[in-house]
Every structure is written in structure tokens, then in C-alpha cells.
Amino acid sequence: MEFFGGFGGTLIAFLIVLSILVFVHEFGHYYVARWNGVRIETFSIGFGPEAFGFTDRAGTRWKFSIVPLGGYVKMFGDANAASQPGDADAIPPDQRDQAFPHKRLRQRAAIVAAGPIANFLFAIVALAGLFATVGQPYTPPVVSEVVADSAAEAAGLQAGDRIVAIDGQSVERFEAVKRVVALNPETALPLVVERGGARVQLTATPRRTSVTDQAGNSHSIGRLGVRVTEIEFRRPDPATAVWSAMKETAALTGGTLKAVGQIITGTRSAEELGGPIRIAQLSGEVAEAGLSNLVSFMAVLSINLGLINLFPVPMLDGGHLLFYGIEALRGRPLGEQAQEYGFRIGLALVLTLMLFVTWNDLANLQVFSFFKNLVT
């Protein structure tokens, strides 16, 4: 899509992608809150002063704010946009049935969890739509050629082998093999292949390889060293498309969690973490490649947004759910001071992470080149 070329197009693509994903996330909170009788005071895309908006008949102010890096739903009874509990006793008795703090524990937990859940549902719907219309990438897991002096050759793989399982996971498409291999460089992976009508047990250790993505960012992945037939796209019926989208979402979620775990343990570089600048750059490049690529990119980002918000860090949805879990065990919520300290720590962690990923973006030469082009 040529419309998204250049800096202006990149910025537009980024704002569209981010606004849609934030809206999906916040609408999850909004919908379940309204379903449980909570009054919504504000639904904002972005932070800071309001750029424009309107007030609906229920009294909710729908608005776009001038800092388009997130959003929030402000519920009646919350102290602020981060959903810190306000003074529940200060709410008039005749309005407490509309206040978030006065809802039962399971209702509050459902409202908080609804945001990340909405992100996962969006990914499933987006992928199912792509599979049913454009088709799902499919490559038979049959080895057509083994690269000389590769991990595959060392493992004993041969041309004609059909990979039926890797690392304990059954294989239907070669795409699944690529995902497992990429996430496990220099890790011994058990393989089961069909060869001449019999099943053969092998062990392969993918070689660590550095690759560069579209934005010029370097990533360390595993590589097996086989060639397969060309990729094709298969369009399943709607029910199969939904089921395939659910499996793909689960696989992407598991892969993302494993990558985060590798970063935490030090087996993967933290420099691979990207922030808003990198997302903006990729949004423009993916949008130029076509609508189907943009929708697929949004599905992956939506999964990441859902996962990040489930991390047990105060200020995030996962932090609220952690506090609710403690409340369920104790039979009463944590004290106000403990929650306040928790939110301060959470805010510090979130801000530190934002600074770190932004530095990663700026430290990338491709990103420096991107900014240089803005002023030349």
C-alpha cells in the first residue's frame, strides 16, 4: 500500500495500529465493567490533555488524548486512570452499586482480565479472517534437501524424511518446525521422522545464527539446515479457520513466553526488545507490504499486548489480578499503604522498561538512519 510510504505514512500506520489495539484492550474492560453495572467515566485512547471527544448518554466521555501511547478506562470509584482504588467509603451509599471498588471480588477480577482476553480474541478473529480469505501458510514437513555441514546433516536427516514430531510436539506443517528450531539454538531437540515407512528417532542441535529483520534489528535464532518445498496457502472452511487461528495464537503465545524467559535467563540478548519507535517503523513497512501483512502484524502485537498486561506487575492488569489473588487468600484486600507502594514500584518498573526499549530502538543504526531521513 503506497499510501503508507515515507515518514507521514509510517506515522499514520503506527497510529492506526496502536489505536485499534488499545481500543480492543480497553473495550474489553469497558464491556465487562458495564455488564457488571459499573459506571464508566472516561474511555480514552492516549494520555494527557484531551484532543477531541464526546460524551454519550450514559455519561461516559469518549476521547482521544494528545499522547497516543496507550489508553485507559476510568471507572467510577477509581482514584485515577491506573485503576488504583479510591476511598470506597467516600462514595454515596445510593451510588455504590455503580462503583468498581464495591463490586464483588470475582467481578473486579473479570473486569481487569477482560482487557488482555480481548487482545487474544482479537488475534484469533484476525488470524481466522486471514486464513479463511487469503489462506494459511502451509509447507509440508518433508525434507527435500539437507544442507552440507549443517545441524540437520549432523543429526542424520535425509532427503525425503517427513518430520512428524519435534521436541515432543506433533508436526503438521514445516512452519511449526521452524518456530521450535528458531527458539532453541544450540539445544538438543528430539526428532521423529518417517523414513521408508518406518519411524526413526533422531536428535538435532540447531546452529545459532544471527538474522536481520525488516527494521535492521539483529536476532539470534536456531537454524536446522534443510530445504523444503515452496510454501503454499490453503483456505480452510470457517470453522477450521477459527480452530487453526486458536492453535496459532497459542503457539505464538508460547513462543513469546519462551523468548521472554530466554531474555531473563540471559540465553537471548535483551537488545532484541523493541519499543514504540521500532513498532512505528515496522508498522509502516508492513503496511506497505499489503493489508494481509498488516493484519497479521496486528494479531502478533495484540498477543504481545495481552501477555505484557498479564505480567504480575502493579500498574498492569496482572498486578491488579495479583492483588485480587492475595485478597482472595487473606479474605480482605491489602492495606492502602501496601497497595500504594506496590503501584509506585510497578510504575518505576514500567518506566524503566520503556526507557530501556527506547534506548534499544535509538541504538539501532537502522533507526538512526530512519530519523536522519526525517530531516534530509
Q: And the C-alpha cell for 353?
A: 522498561
Q: Are 299 and 122 in contact (CB under 8 A)?
A: yes
Concatenated DSSP letters of 44-88: EEEEEEEEEEEE-TTS-EEEEEEEEEEEEEEETTBSSTT--B--G
Give kind and range of the element (H or E) at residue 346. helix 336-363
Give kind and range of the element (H or E) at residue 136. strand 136-138
Instruction: From the candidates 26, 248, 285, 288, give the one annotated as an active-site residue.
Output: 26
Concatenated DSSP letters of 142-166: B-SEE-TTSHHHHHT--TT-EEEEE
Give kind and range of the element (H or E) at residue 14. helix 6-35
Annotation marks residue 26 as catalytic = yes
Residue written as cell 493489508?
291
- CA atoms within a 13 Å half-sphere pointing along the CA-CB vector of 52: 0
Q: List Cα–Cα distances, 189 to 182, 227, 252, in angstroms.
A: 12, 18, 19
Long-range contacts of 203-212 (CB under 8 A, 24+ apart): 203/155, 204/151, 204/152, 204/154, 204/155, 204/157, 205/151, 205/154, 205/155, 206/151, 206/181, 206/182, 207/150, 207/151, 209/185
| Sign of the alpha-carbon dihedral angle for 186, 307, 170, 179 | negative
| Integer Cα distance of 12 and 9 in angstroms | 5
Which positions are annotated as active-site residues? 26
